[in-house]
Amino acid sequence: MAIHPIDYRYGSEEMRRIFEEESKLQKLLEVEAALARAHAKLGNIPEEAAKEISKKASTKYVKLERVKEIEAEINHDLMAVVLALAEVCGEAGKYVHLGATSNDIIDTATALQFKEALAIVERDLEELKNILLERAEEYIDIVCVGRTHGQHAVPTTYGLKFAIFAMEIKRHLERLREMKKRLLVGQMTGAVGTQASFGDKGIEIQELVMKDLGLGKVEVSNQLIQRDRYAECFALLALISATLDKMGREIRNLMRTEIAEVAEPFREDKQVGSSTMPHKRNPINSEKVCGLARIIKSNVFVALENVSLEHERDLTNSSPERCIIPESFVLLDEILKTMKKVMKGLKIFPENVEKNLMLTKGLNLAEAVMIELTKKGMSRQKAHELLRRLSIKAFEENKGLKEVLLESKEVRAYLSEEDIERVTNPKNYIGTAIEQVRRILEEEKKSSRS
């Protein structure tokens, strides 16, 4: 019976499959087979033995049920795999696991899992980035109110919002690709890292095994691959989830009834928003993203604790890694795919964007007026104080900024009515927002062609 939601609720079948017991067993067997082939190439074992081990290193022959039976008897998970493989290999079985320690096999197999899982994450990040760029282009000139401290600030654009998200995802892609060379490594170093069990051929054996498996190799190690590598991976997964959390939070806030500038995709034929309030259209997808991101971020603490193991190793990393590796990847897979769906189907309501832009009756253009007065010759500090006073006056008298500007002799000494009309139009105060987005779009299109 399934207990954890990653077994039945979260993550794609493709991602979950990587961390299933049988899939993990297959990867352990692949590493054992690669070790046997390396030994055969160096003349340490007969070539026919390596062929037999390679043939039988498959869940077609080594059954998960048999491995569990052996583990129940001997209380050692990896040795159970070794014995289960050896017993189906006949005479060749005596060469299985020659010279290796458990974590040579386990950590190298984990690197194979990381390789597959990161390929899915990388693909989803690339797709999400492209969706965000499409939305940036689609809404490049939709002017909206900017918000700082939850208050209306100067105008910005929806194109800039989406472009900012896209570039953050792009940086995660860069981090992921850079991290691979440190994370996707295996080891064949023996009990404490000296390779003594491999004689004078340890370095060659390690190189052959990793080349065979398509992995990099550790420079040095002790009984296991050092967990700073894993901690970096979990930190990256947490960073990605933090960005998705930020995106989800922005959508949730912009979906508030009082703001209502955007809406998540909603299936109007069947989707139910509330068990009691039939009218509800809740931001459930963005809320799920924000909620699951908390778990992914919290797992970084565990990964950091796993770095400081005692001497050449202890076992305190093993049990938490059984939990946090599949959990973090499956949950990230879930929220990445969810955010792709949200961003692809996100609706924007221009009429509400316009309404909110004008909600303060032009008060959020006070900076624009201050800059214009400075250009016309007024001291910047004097202009700031003047606009501060006029903004308070407009607020208290429930007037628009333009109205109090036209009434101010100090302002009219510098600005004409045409100047005031121009400078209080929010669409005239978005700076290079459109130009910035166009530049990003052009650079990304050029990059995708090269």
Report, as residue numbers or ranges, the catalytic residues: 149, 274
Distance CA 248, CA 254 (A): 10
Distance CA 211, CA 290 (A): 40
Residue 299 Cα to chain centre, angstroms = 14
Give me the phi and psi of 146, to 5 degrees please: -80, 155
Burial of residue 359, with CB atoms counted within 10 A of its CB: 0-12 exposed, 13-18 middle, 19 or more buried: middle
Closest-CA residue to 222 (of 326, 309, 319): 309
Spell out the residues 6+ positions from residue 46 whose beta carbon is closer than 8 angstroms to its own.
40, 92, 95
Packing angle between helix 380-396 and helix 366-375, nearest 10 degrees?
A: 150
Give me the phi and psi of 47, to 5 degrees please: -60, -35
Q: What count of other Cβ atoms lies within 10 Å of the Cβ of residue 4?
A: 12
